[in-house]
Amino acid sequence: MSQLPSESAQQAVTYPSLFLLVALGALVPVVPTGAVVSSAAVVAFHQTAPLALLYIFVVASFAAFLGDIALYWLGRRGVNSKNGSRWLAALEQRVADDTLEEAQRKLREHGVTVLVLSRLVPAGRIPVMLACLLSRWPTTRFIKGALPACLAWAATYQLIGILGGSLFTEPWEGVVAAVALTVLISGGPALWRRLRRRGKGKPDGKGGPTPAGGRTAADGPTEPDGRQA
């Protein structure tokens, strides 16, 4: 009873849990999925199975990709509906007006490249996804950017976990270090922006008038590059 579970038992729990948590975190952006991937990478790093880290990468990137596609599909249903949807409304509530305008501008200028990089930028995924929705990107075009974005995201947070695992001999120590680093990376910039916005007395973007360019599909269809039709 005092011994840790066998590697096969750990893997039987780790991979399904990793998939569910990452997919859920992609759909409901409150789960710290980066910390989940880094923690799983620490555990895999200390295992003797040669392909453990590869499996972590495949499971994490696949779950993130499916979650992103599912959320985008749900958002498109809201854009195409006269009454919108709670999924689209939830995305809009999480994005400040100035952040959305910046994401739309970058999307017009750089296209799919911005979508690929959005998962690597703290709090960058949802604004860019919302900009794609309001620009009425077809799902096939979104997939072209979401796939490499999820691969790069999984690789980045797995490297953080490998770093944490290599610095400590005990897996739990590496998990603590990896979680602390990922939370700092993902949450620090967003917290700083919120504190600056409050310090300047600016609204957080969840109320007030709709800016030019529109946050909803009621203003009419837009072209794929984000311009009003």
Dihedral of the alpha carbons of 156, 161, 167, 171, in degrees to the nearest 10: -170
88-120 tens-digit pLDDT: 888 888 888 888 999 999 999 998 999 999 988
pTM of the model: 0.74
**Distance separating the N- and C-terminal Cα atoms of the chain:** 66
State the greatest distance between any 2 C-alpha atoms of the chain, in Å, as a whole number: 66
* 94-103, 165-174, 193-202: range with lowest mean pLDDT: 193-202
Question: For 181-193, what is each residue's pLDDT tens digit?
Answer: 777 766 655 555 5
Q: Which two three-digit tokens encode residue 120?
A: 């690597």
pLDDT of residue 161: 87
pLDDT digits (tens, 9 = 90+) for 42-82: 888 887 777 889 999 999 999 999 999 999 999 888 887 77
